Amino acid sequence: MTRHMYGQGPADWTFSVGDADTATLAGAVNLTFWSSQTSGTQYTDLLNASGSPITSVTSSDGSSGLPVGTIPLFFGPDSITSMWADGGGGYRSLVTAHDGFAFSDDARFGEVAGLTVSGTAAAGRYLRATSSAGAEYTNDGTTDWLNVQSPAYSGGAAGDGTTDDTAAIQAALTACPPGGVVYLPAGSYATSAPLTIPPEVTLRGGRGGHIDDLSTPTLKPLASFTGAAVLLMVDQTTGGYSRASTEQRIEHVSIDGSALPAGSVDGIQAQGYVHGVYLTDVQIRHIPNHGINPVTNSSGSPYSWRCTRVHVSASGGIGITASMTDTTWLDCEVIGAGSHGWFVGGGANAVYIGCRSEWSSLDGFNFGSGTGTGSGSGGPLFVGCTTDRNAQNGMMIPSAANGNGPITITGCSFRRDGSGATSSGYAGININTSTQPVTITGCQVYPGTSDSGTGNASPQYGLSVTGVTSVSVSGSHFHAISEGVHDGGSNTRFARGLNITERTGTTSSPTTVTRGVQTYGTTGGSLDVPEHLAGVPHPREHGLAAWSFPPEQVVSGKAGTAGTLYLAQLYVPRPVTATKLCWGINTAGSGAVAGQNWVGLYSAAGSLLASAGVDARVSTSGAWQETITGTALTPGSYWIAFLINATTMPQIYRGGDVSAGLMNLGLSGATLRWATNGTGLTALPSSITPGSNTSAQFAYFGAVG
């Protein structure tokens, strides 16, 4: 038996009829209901909307929130679908039942308590009240929103964190039609095996967690769980699907693997050709292996995903393996991964916007092979991404990164990375022996200790570049403990452009480092150093690292005073191993004192780095190259030193030296370009005090190569 609902339909109003048959809505009209238009039997077995017995119905007077004249909802007698309404006006109007209202078996829409339920639960059915104490399952045609707690699916999921809900949830996923939604109401759903999401099916909860451990709605694999991943997507062949494995969606769901023992279980895994997946508002925490892991098989590889607000914390392995081409990652975060926070390999044409990696045991972002290879592929793009306190590098681009498409890093921040060691070469951005082009613009690296003020101050380097094919950087700030920009050498092309600022030391006591523009590689049209702006050749084109001034500016020679140490400053722009010192004599001298004639190289701190005896050169004019023991030089200022003791002093190559004051304009002590430091010397001192330099009118030419 079924009671049908009446009232609040388009025709369910009460009116009063005035002059000229005009009708006006009338409220507070008491209505009785009859079996016929005239005479008949009055129906008194009625229920109001709350299920309480009534014998008549009163239309709204406006005080209840319903418009004046509205006939409110009520239930008629069993099985009656039409009745005649009498408002006391001398005639009756026909009213018909409608079934727009039903009690739902979805816990979101209310409780069905104390009812005797008839019928069979099944996909697309819902509960409808049949009396004040009864209800039945009926079919409204809805089959694309499936509640896992419905008894239709293996008895329904309990969501109590203890009962194994695997069968119920999988039954709902399997029953869901393409384009449909499997809904997880608030609760903790224990599972013992992977839940496989078919093509074009959405698994949706009410919300996903962020950093905090939330209980609703959460998938919580049991300690006895076996399988590859908590959530699994497989290719068409493996899944036995009639269509390609595409368009799976996981939305507003948390995965809590804290009950799992150590092992190889992933949070979310896709196997083979799984295309067009959406992950939205998803949290994965305490998973023993990888948080998200796309796996290649004979069908191909997962690709072209869209992932928004995904949070992975405390994974035992890699937080997110981002090895999918044509994929967009937006506001996704990894915290405390047991390996790399992110692994980027094979992710051609991928975009990372506002993504984070913090406190990982290895690198924040680590690159693998295949990134930007093949026809039509491009490299990954990072915009506004950040790292913080990863144990090794904030971003590591090693030799495995061998694509042709450029890796573009724009507006990113790398903070306090390299916390695991202070002398292992860790950097905010570390590019080591990669053949893939890298472009860095508008980025920053900033050092620091842990939040508590303890731990290593890191990173050692802001940007470290060694053995690369092509790296360019501009408009960025690099502050690190040892060196803002570290050039490890053996680079084919390392271009440091305009507006680069560097600092070393702690944040409380930083030291600013000033360098110029540089590129390494072919010289055609490039800004090798500022000299090229004016078309002036660079020392490197002469096989040299630096000189005190270009050799074409030598105008004559000049003899100094015997026993006086003369210094000519030069700047080495990149790491180099020096093997020769270059100088020359315009007019020969004579009577060289044996063992007392030298050229040498001093550091900015005043240490003697290399020297060569030149007794035999004193009596002969010409340009000379003196061989020295290989000496590693880092970018910075140095002095070529000249010490001659002879009866007739030779005239050493010099540039214009009209005035010592003009030559050293605005300089003093350790900053002097042309200086003397000591008299009456017979050998080069092992060290000098640069602050004691004296300005000298001797613009001697010297070079190091």
Same-domain check for residues 30 and 132: no
* Per-residue confidence (pLDDT) for residue 215, from 0 to 100: 56
Q: Is residue 164 part of a domain?
A: no
Q: Is the dihedral of CA 147, 150, 154, 159 positive or negative?
A: positive
Same-domain check for residues 596 and 673: yes
Confidence of residue 124 (pLDDT cuts 50, 70, 90): very low
For 335, the enclosing helix (H) or strand (E) is strand 333-335
Model pTM score? 0.67
Q: Is the pLDDT of residue 531 over 50?
A: no
Which range is least confidently modeled, 9-13, 519-523, 659-663?
Answer: 519-523
Same-domain check for residues 11 and 130: no
Same-domain check for residues 26 and 90: yes
Sole residue written with tokens 């384009």: 179
Q: Is residue 278 part of a domain?
A: no
The beta strand positions in 50-120, using DSSP E, are: 53-54, 57-58, 74-78, 82-86, 92-96, 116-118
Q: Which domain holds residue 588?
A: 543-704
Which range is least confidently modeled, 352-356, 400-404, 542-546, 630-634?
Answer: 400-404
CA distance 170 to 372: 38
Q: Is the pLDDT of residue 424 over 50?
A: yes
Q: Is the pLDDT of residue 669 over 80?
A: yes
Q: Is residue 580 part of a domain?
A: yes
Same-domain check for residues 35 and 119: no
Same-domain check for residues 629 and 559: yes
Q: Is residue 660 part of a domain?
A: yes
* Per-residue confidence (pLDDT) for residue 499, from 0 to 100: 86
* Per-residue confidence (pLDDT) for residue 139, from 0 to 100: 46
Which of 48, 65, 96 lies at the terminal end of a domain, its last residue?
96
Same-domain check for residues 585 and 698: yes
CB 464 within 8 A of CB 432: yes
Q: Is the pLDDT of residue 136 over 90?
A: no
* Per-residue confidence (pLDDT) for residue 148, from 0 to 100: 94
Confidence of residue 426 (pLDDT cuts 50, 70, 90): very high
What does DSSP assign to residue 536? P
Which range is least confidently modeled, 203-217, 434-448, 601-615, 631-645?
Answer: 203-217
Pick the closest to residue 703 from 543, 565, 588, 562 (CA basis): 543
Kindly compute the dihedral angle of the four CA atoms of residues 221, 223, 227, 232, in this order, to the nearest 10 degrees.
10
Q: Is the pLDDT of residue 119 over 90?
A: no
* Per-residue confidence (pLDDT) for residue 387, from 0 to 100: 98
* Per-residue confidence (pLDDT) for residue 214, from 0 to 100: 59
Confidence of residue 376 (pLDDT cuts 50, 70, 90): low
**What are the C-alpha distances in Å from 195 to residues 146, 159, 219, 345, 465?**
15, 15, 10, 27, 45
Q: Is residue 405 part of a domain?
A: no
* Per-residue confidence (pLDDT) for residue 372, from 0 to 100: 63
Q: Is the pLDDT of residue 96 over 60?
A: yes
CA 23 distance to own-chain centroid = 67
**What average pLDDT does this structure show over 45-51?**
87
Same-domain check for residues 33 and 132: no
**What average pLDDT does this structure show over 419-444?**
96
Q: Is the pLDDT of residue 306 over 80?
A: yes
Confidence of residue 522 (pLDDT cuts 50, 70, 90): very low
**What average pLDDT does this structure show over 85-103?**
76
Q: How many separate domains does the chain show? A: 3
Which range is least confidently modeled, 394-398, 508-512, 622-626?
Answer: 508-512
Q: Is the pLDDT of residue 107 over 50?
A: no
- Condensed to tens digits (0 to 9), the pLDDT of residues 229-258 reads 999 999 999 999 999 999 999 999 999 999
Confidence of residue 683 (pLDDT cuts 50, 70, 90): very high
Q: Is the dihedral of CA 621, 625, 627, 628 positive or negative?
A: positive
Same-domain check for residues 592 and 697: yes
**What average pLDDT does this structure show over 573-591?**
93
Same-domain check for residues 571 and 675: yes
CB 206 within 8 A of CB 234: no
Which of 65, 96, 127 lies at the terminal end of a domain, its last residue?
96
Q: Which two tokens stand for residue 620?
A: 């002969």
Q: Is residue 77 part of a domain?
A: yes
Q: Is residue 656 part of a domain?
A: yes
**What average pLDDT does this structure show over 660-666?**
92
Same-domain check for residues 597 and 697: yes
Q: Is the pLDDT of residue 140 over 70?
A: no
- Condensed to tens digits (0 to 9), the pLDDT of residues 600-653 reads 999 999 999 999 999 999 999 999 999 999 999 988 899 999 999 999 999 999
* Per-residue confidence (pLDDT) for residue 20, from 0 to 100: 64
3-state secondary structure of 551: helix
Longest dimension (CA), the chain: 148
User: Mean of the per-residue pLDDT values for the chain?
Assistant: 89
Confidence of residue 216 (pLDDT cuts 50, 70, 90): low
Q: Is residue 603 part of a domain?
A: yes
* Per-residue confidence (pLDDT) for residue 207, from 0 to 100: 83
Same-domain check for residues 88 and 125: no
Q: Is the pLDDT of residue 534 over 60?
A: no
Which of 70, 96, 122 lies at the terminal end of a domain, its last residue?
96
**What average pLDDT does this structure show over 470-495?**
93
Express as a percent the part of the chain with pLDDT over 70: 88
3-state secondary structure of 555: coil
Confidence of residue 100 (pLDDT cuts 50, 70, 90): very low
Express as a percent the part of the chain with pLDDT over 90: 72
Q: What angle do CA 321, 318, 249 make, to 5 degrees?
A: 45
